[in-house]
Amino acid sequence: MAKLYFTYSAMNAGKSTMLLQSAHNYRERGMKVMLWTSGHYRKHEGNTGCITSRIGLEADAHLYVDDVDIFEVIAAHMTMERLDAVFVDEAQFLTPTQVWQLSRVADHLGCPVMCFGLRTDFQGKLFPGSSELLAIADQLREVRTICHCGSKATMTARLDESGRALTQGDQVDTDKAHYVSLCRKHWEDVTGFHVP
């Protein structure tokens, strides 16, 4: 039975690299895959996105924005060509409805779906897509990265141009240079967030 997978971590743990490597492994064995990324990562004007990794790997991908019915797009594709796996990058930006659509791709179309994304934002809050994936994914996997102190990094801080941690602002900022991964202790120290 096909499953819905969610691989999550803080920033800079290599999630996109893992996705691209896994997709390559499928293709190398003659299997067909479909890649998706958030509309925040549009490659050019149009409907093509680009999944990139910090080590220089990249691949074109379908784009999802809030009103895209991912299940319908995949189901229509599968009437013309088989699919052996679906890979979704930046899965934190999925809507809860889209997460359920992806679960139906696994459950009703028999195609495994592998989602990769952040668990929490710079304020320590779950992203909507991540929250839904944590609730319903068949399998969860954490990719570890480390804080500057050597402890496991579980949090992400957003920095301004002067290197100070931001505590307010939009949940989405796609400039990856603005983020640093930290352990919870150092995230609290840097951001000043303290939950009573």
User: Which of the residues are catalytic?
Assistant: 90
User: Residue 41 in 3-state DSSP?
Assistant: helix
Q: Is residue 117 within 8 Å of 92, Cβ to Cβ?
A: yes
CA 124 vs CA 58, 191, 194: distances in Å: 29, 10, 10
User: Residue 185 in 3-state DSSP?
Assistant: helix
Alpha carbons within 13 A on the beta-carbon side of 40: 15
Give 110-156 as a DSSP string: ---EEEEEESB-TTSPBPHHHHHHHHH-SEEEEPPEE-TTSSEE-EE
Q: Please count the residues of the chain.
A: 196
